[in-house]
């Protein structure tokens, strides 16, 4: 304990950059550690020093305590900040940091150990009078015994990892038929994410709110709370929208929640930033879920409404200072909302979509806070979490914060991979969200649109063609009045076709003037005209006669690898794939083949050649970006071929299993 001069962040991505920012403001030097797949991410270059870690997976790198301590020593660091996830709630890590003579920026190891085992934590706090949901530990008992115990809890039940969080190792089980498979899957995922396969069962509340309270303690016996956050909007049990304060918490409930959270922190001698999580039912009754003994992903919304830099306070407390504020000093100022921007495809059940980020540019004229893991040119690796940024707005009212955040997402330029940004904007603009009707089943119950409407994809295709042709002309150094290329008709261009969102868009046009394009619409005899007012390498300002109206606006355009990303300023983005103009031999998909939906590692194969399978049967389990994905049979048949084995890395689209439906299609 003492003055922190050089701090190592034992983490990656946006949280490393977040901690570095506060360190720079405090005059503290910074050290990054990085796995090989992360070498090109911006957090590595932003640190004063960067130490490579041997290996590629989480277990080989960010979960390797010995490597991290060795990196701190090699870089001359005198303090370690764990960020969140990875080893942040593993009590062995802070103990190793302290044993190495370094300052640990987090709660003491005993407090982490007390809450790190969620089952033990529940028992401890239940004894202190904190309300709990019924739960049981899975101890490897026979399946029939476990099924009997689950009946005592009552379905639906939640299978939950004892040693972690963030939605990892969690499964909702509606009834006994899927319980044993869910336990096996959750154990495997928890082991990979946290190094601890212990899971337990807990009664699942279907129409609850997820409310958490930020607490902060120091080493002088002070503990305060910084009010609540609501994190009910979740997919796969992982938060995607968080806000502070909760629209459902009044002053009396806030007082009760805050007192319970502070009581929990006092009970374990808590001395840094932490979060006590509760489920609140429709009657205002709350139940302890868990305590996260670390900084949370959603901490910026608390910073926004209180004005407290939580990372700065973490460092000061680790140095031995008392908290710089007391409970009576804290006030709620306005409303803040955060969304988690993921490299994932909501239209494909939120499958991860790792790959290159060709362009990343937040809007400059809409107030917001952006904490990103990427920049233009980054590659999102398959080995780690798919979150690429947190986006936060703070306003006087909740509605203003929500609508402004939706606008930020719409104006954000993020081209090259598929993200959930349109889905997030649809959530924020939905009447149910704006009304505060936000329970943990929001996504399933309200079903906000997962993508934008796509009604202007044809116009986007026109813009892409105009931009490409003017680019060719600009490269030639002149503005001739004819279309580029050798054609019998000097004013007409060969038609092109684009694929977008599963639909095909044909573009046929001619150019009566250098910057004027007349496009044939789908309706015979109908045309649309685009006049280019301004052109540059990054886009166009056009005046378009489109659907009976005149539209003037700026369209940003990026072309790469046969694809074009077209985005109107403040509007939707369209990813267009140009189809080949001449027929090409296409590889035929293997009949009955089941393909990998994304790049990943095979963790389990549940069938072998000759097996008879039925509709819905689990075939292969893939792991990508820290989540498991199940490939199941869509009909009956006999397994003809298995192309993969556990531990094998596969590319997206690779055929995993082939099933002959002709031999027992009713199987």
**CATH number of the CATH domain containing 412:** 3.30.470.20
Q: How far apart are CA 49 and CA 191, in angstroms?
A: 31
SS3 343: coil
Residue that terminates a domain, selected from 182, 203, 224 = 203
Q: How confident is the model at residue 626 (pLDDT cuts 50, 70, 90)?
A: low
- Two tokens, residue 590: 């293997």
145 lies in the same domain as 68: no
Residue that terminates a domain, selected from 421, 442, 474 = 421
Q: How confident is the model at residue 165 (pLDDT cuts 50, 70, 90)?
A: low
**Shortest CA distance to 246 belongs to which of 216, 277, 203, 270?**
277
**Shortest CA distance to 364 belongs to which of 412, 410, 298, 323?**
412
Residue 435 located in a structural domain: no
At 55, give phi and psi (nearest 5°): 110, 175
256 lies in the same domain as 405: yes
378 lies in the same domain as 249: yes
Q: Does residue 656 surpass a pLDDT of 70?
A: yes
Residue 122 located in a structural domain: no
263 lies in the same domain as 345: yes
Check residue 483 and give its pLDDT: 44
Specify whether the CB–CB gap between 440 and 234 falls below 8 A: yes
Please list the helix, strand and coil fractions of the chain in percent, rounded to the nearest 5, in that order. Answer: 25, 35, 40
Range of the domain at 644: 593-660
Strands 238-244 and 223-235: antiparallel
236 lies in the same domain as 174: no
389 lies in the same domain as 289: yes
- For the chain, the domain total comes to 5
Q: How confident is the model at residue 142 (pLDDT cuts 50, 70, 90)?
A: confident
Check residue 141 and give its pLDDT: 81
62 lies in the same domain as 178: no
169 lies in the same domain as 240: no
- Two tokens, residue 518: 């007349």
89 lies in the same domain as 233: no
- Neighbouring C-beta atoms of residue 580, cutoff 10 Å: 10
Residue 612 located in a structural domain: yes
Q: What is the CATH number of the domain that holds 567?
A: 3.30.700
Q: What is the CATH number of the domain that holds 630?
A: 2.40.50.100
Residue 87 located in a structural domain: yes
Residue 315 located in a structural domain: yes
Q: How far is CA 174 from CA 43, 152, 266, 367, 545, in A?
A: 41, 14, 36, 43, 53
Instruction: Give the pLDDT confidence of 59-86 residue by residue, as tens digits.
Output: 999 999 999 999 999 999 999 999 999 9
514 lies in the same domain as 401: no
Angle formed by the axes of helices 179-194 and 143-153, nearest 10°: 90
Q: How confident is the model at residue 529 (pLDDT cuts 50, 70, 90)?
A: very high
Q: Does residue 160 surpass a pLDDT of 90?
A: no
pTM metric for this prediction: 0.85
Q: Does residue 194 surpass a pLDDT of 90?
A: no
Q: How far apart are CA 13 and CA 11, in angstroms?
A: 7
């Amino acid at each position: 304990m003492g003055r922190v001069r050089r701090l190592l962040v034992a983490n990656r991505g946006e949280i490393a950059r977040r901690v570095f920012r506060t360190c720079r403001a405090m005059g503290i030097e910074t050290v990054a550690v990085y796995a090989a797949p992360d070498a090109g991410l911006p957090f590595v270059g932003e640190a004063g020093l960067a130490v490579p870690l041997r290996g590629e997976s989480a277990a080989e790198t960010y979960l390797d305590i010995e490597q991290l301590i060795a990196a701190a020593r090699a870089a001359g660091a005198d303090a370690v900040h764990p960020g969140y996830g990875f080893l942040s709630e593993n009590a062995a890590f802070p103990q190793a940091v302290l044993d190495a003579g370094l300052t640990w920026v987090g709660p003491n190891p005993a407090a982490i150990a007390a809450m790190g085992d969620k089952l033990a934590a529940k028992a401890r706090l239940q004894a202190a009078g904190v309300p709990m949901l019924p739960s049981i530990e899975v101890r490897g008992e026979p399946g029939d015994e476990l099924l009997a115990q689950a009946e005592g809890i009552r379905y639906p039940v939640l299978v939950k990892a004892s040693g972690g969080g963030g939605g990892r190792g969690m499964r909702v089980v509606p009834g006994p038929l899927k319980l044993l498979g869910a336990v096996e899957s959750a154990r495997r995922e928890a082991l990979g994410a946290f190094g601890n396969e212990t899971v337990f069962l807990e009664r699942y509340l279907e129409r609850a709110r997820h409310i958490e309270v930020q607490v902060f303690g120091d080493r002088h016996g002070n503990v305060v709370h910084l009010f609540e956050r609501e994190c009910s909007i979740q997919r796969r049990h992982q938060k995607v929208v968080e806000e502070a304060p909760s629209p459902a918490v009044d002053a009396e409930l806030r007082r009760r929640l805050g007192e319970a959270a502070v009581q929990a922190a006092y009970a374990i001698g808590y001395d840094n930033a932490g979060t006590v999580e509760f489920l609140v039912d429709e009657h205002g009754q709350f139940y302890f879920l868990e305590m996260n003994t670390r900084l949370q992903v959603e901490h910026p919304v608390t910073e926004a409404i209180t004005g407290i830099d939580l990372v700065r306070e973490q460092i000061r407390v680790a140095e031995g200072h008392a908290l710089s504020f007391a409970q009576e000093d804290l006030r709620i100022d306005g409303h803040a909302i955060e969304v988690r921007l993921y490299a994932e495809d909501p239209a494909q059940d939120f499958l991860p979509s790792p790959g290159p980020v060709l362009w990343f540019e937040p809007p400059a004229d809409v107030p917001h806070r952006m904490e990103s893991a990427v920049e233009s040119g980054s590659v999102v690796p398959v080995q780690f979490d798919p979150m690429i940024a947190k986006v936060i707005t703070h306003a006087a009212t909740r509605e203003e914060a929500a609508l402004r955040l939706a606008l930020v997402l719409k104006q954000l330029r993020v081209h090259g991979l598929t993200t959930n940004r349109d889905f997030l904007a649809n959530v924020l603009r939905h009447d149910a969200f704006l009304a505060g009707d936000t329970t943990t089943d929001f996504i399933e119950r309200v079903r906000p649109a997962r993508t934008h409407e796509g009604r202007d994809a044809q116009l986007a295709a026109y813009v892409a063609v105009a931009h490409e042709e003017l680019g060719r002309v600009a490269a030639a150094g002149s503005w001739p009045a004819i279309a580029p290329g050798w054609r019998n008709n000097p004013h007409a261009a060969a038609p092109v076709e684009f694929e977008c969102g599963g639909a095909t868009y044909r573009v046929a046009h001619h150019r009566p003037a250098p910057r004027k394009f007349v496009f044939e619409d789908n309706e015979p005899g109908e045309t649309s005209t685009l006049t280019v007012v301004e052109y540059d390498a990054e886009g166009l300002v056009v005046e378009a006669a489109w659907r009976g109206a005149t539209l003037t606006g700026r369209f940003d355009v990026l072309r790469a690898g046969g694809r074009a990303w077209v985005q109107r300023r403040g509007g939707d983005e369209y990813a267009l794939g140009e189809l080949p103009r001449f027929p090409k031999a296409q590889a035929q998909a293997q009949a009955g083949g089941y393909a990998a939906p994304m790049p990943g590692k095979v963790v389990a194969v549940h069938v072998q050649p000759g097996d008879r399978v039925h509709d819905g049967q689990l075939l292969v389990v893939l792991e990508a970006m820290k989540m498991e994905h199940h490939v199941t049979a869509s009909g009956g048949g006999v397994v003809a071929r298995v192309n993969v084995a556990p531990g094998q890395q596969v590319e997206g689209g690779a055929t995993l299993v082939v099933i002959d439906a002709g031999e027992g299609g009713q199987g």
